[in-house]
Structure 1
């Protein structure tokens, strides 16, 4: 009996890194980005080019410097919440999470009961505001 084996190549996928390029509209940030990037390229320029360096390794170095500069100066793009959720509602949700953490961190039953009562009040008000907005 003959078996036929198929080769399934392993595909490694990397996620795209979204940087906050909107802040480059600010001239101060843009100038800072240009200065830092220029300094890093000057450092790359003065590295010795030996026999072991190839175009791919040079490109990898340039790409690494650009991404590290973008990460340092620009930072990652922040994901904003949905438009139908207001800032007040997000604050109430955060307060609710904090009160839940207090419940989980309480050591005695009396502390836990008191924290649970506060949590239920806050939970009801925050869920009501979410229902009104949606």
Structure 2
């Protein structure tokens, strides 16, 4: 019984391996140093928004933050 099962199991496994092949894993690359620099720049722009004193400074800082945020999202 055991030898029959091993024979069937081996036949199915070899057929599946021949037909389907090995599964290839695609690993996502790590975040680059450039991306980390952009993230730090984004944090600095966010603090500039929070520490701005006038509305004009705040709108300018928000525009800069929005642009940096888009760059960060593109690089990730």
Is the TM-score greater than 0.5? Answer: yes
- Kindly indicate which of the two structures has a greater share of residues assigned to helix: 2
Instruction: Give 1:125 deviation, angstroms.
Output: 0.7
RMSD over aligned Cα atoms: 0.9
Q: Distance in 1 between matches of 2:32 and 2:45?
A: 20
**Structure 1, unaligned stretches of length 5 or more?**
1-82
Relative to the length of structure 1, the TM-score reads 0.35
Which residues in structure 2 correspond to 1:1-134 (within 5 Å)?
Answer: 84-130=30-76
| Unmatched 5+ stretches in structure 2 | 1-28
Divergent runs of 4+, >6 A: none
How many residues were matched structurally?
48
Q: Residues of 2 paired with 1:117 and 1:126: CA distance?
A: 14
